[in-house]
Amino acid sequence: MTQPTPDLDARYQAARRVAQEAAQRGMAFYREREGLVVDHKGDDPQDVVSIADKSLEAFIRAELSGEFPEDGFIGEEEGSCDLDARCIWVIDPIDGTRCFVNGLHNWCVSIGLLVDGEPALGAIADPNHGELFQGRSGHGAFVNGKPLKVHTSQDVRDGVMGVGTTHRPGKENFIPFLQKLLDAGGMFFRNGSGALMTAYVAAGRLIGYYETRIYSWDCLAGLVMLREAGGVANDFFADNGLLDGNPLLVTCPGVYEQVAGMIGPSIK
């Protein structure tokens, strides 16, 4: 039996609304962050989770599943469900938790949607800077209503490169890459939020962003915006990247080959 065509207009509207509402709820936790209980996840000391992350993800799932009960979910805190659905929400309730718990203004709420396995739309709400990044495949990408467009750089010397790493496999590629970037006259920036860094590339604030390993909930929403803004990305979804994560490289077209050459074969 053929499944009905999903209502992407309604889902796009819901993604923006829920991201903004979750971000405001996050600000309430942020203002009282000294009282949050914070735990470490897995073997990576940079992977932390607080009651705020768990509360916001529960809120986001409840809101979206209430409107679209047929949809599936992939979330950082509560895992995945209904992955055979045509529409799958990919959510990070607080991207940049370490920044969040330490009082740094580099965190956001990220909500993306896969439709038939393809990134279709996304919303990234940054309450500290009053910005809502949004994008939908074939309909453009925007920040607070202003169209996004990637940088015009043709060389890494022309702008700032976003970077990131963790203690996950792949970290061994980080310092060699930075050395090559500096040798080529480039400069780097790290803010601790993969979602925001990807959105900043789409907005032309960064010429690119390289993360040695990242998960889909950190970048899927931003990948929609990047594509709509004219950017280039590696094949992040190769080898089950959706669930297992992968290295990520997103840039403006003029520097992709130059930066990919600095990284080497770890980027597919």
Task: Evaluate if residue 45 carries a pLDDT over 90.
Answer: no
Task: Evaluate if residue 43 carries a pLDDT over 70.
Answer: no
Tell me the CA distances in angstroms from 259 to 102, 153, 156, 251, one per residue in order: 31, 12, 8, 8
Whether residue 211 contacts residue 195, with contact meaning beta carbons closer than 8 Å, is answered with no
Top CATH class of 8-147 equals alpha beta
Highest mean pLDDT among 38-42, 47-51, 240-244: 240-244
Distance CA 240, CA 244 (A): 6
113-166 per-position pLDDT tens digit: 999 999 999 999 999 999 999 999 999 999 999 999 999 999 999 999 999 998
Tell me the CA distances in angstroms from 122 to 132, 202, 265, one per residue in order: 10, 13, 29
Domain ranges of the chain: 8-147, 156-263
User: Which 8-state DSSP code applies to residue 119?
Assistant: E
Top CATH class of 156-263 equals alpha beta
What's the confidence (pLDDT) of residue 199?
98
181-222 per-position pLDDT tens digit: 999 999 999 999 999 999 999 999 999 999 999 999 999 999
Mean pLDDT score across all residues of the chain? 92
Which secondary-structure segment (H or E) carries 23? helix 8-31
Tell me the CA distances in angstroms from 153 to 28, 119, 133, 237, one per residue in order: 39, 26, 22, 26
- Least-confidence region, from 93-107, 111-125, 215-229: 93-107
User: Which 8-state DSSP code applies to residue 35?
Assistant: G
165-176 per-position pLDDT tens digit: 988 888 999 999
Sheet with 79-81: list strands edge to edge.
79-81, 72-75, 87-95, 108-115, 118-126, 131-136, 140-143, 146-147
What's the confidence (pLDDT) of residue 41?
54
H helix count then E strand count, the chain: 8, 15
Which secondary-structure segment (H or E) carries 107? none
What does pTM read for this prediction?
0.93
Better-scored residue on pLDDT, 93 or 33: 93
Q: How many other CB atoms are there within 10 angstroms of residue 37's CB atom?
A: 8
Task: Evaluate if residue 44 carries a pLDDT over 90.
Answer: no
What's the confidence (pLDDT) of residue 1?
46
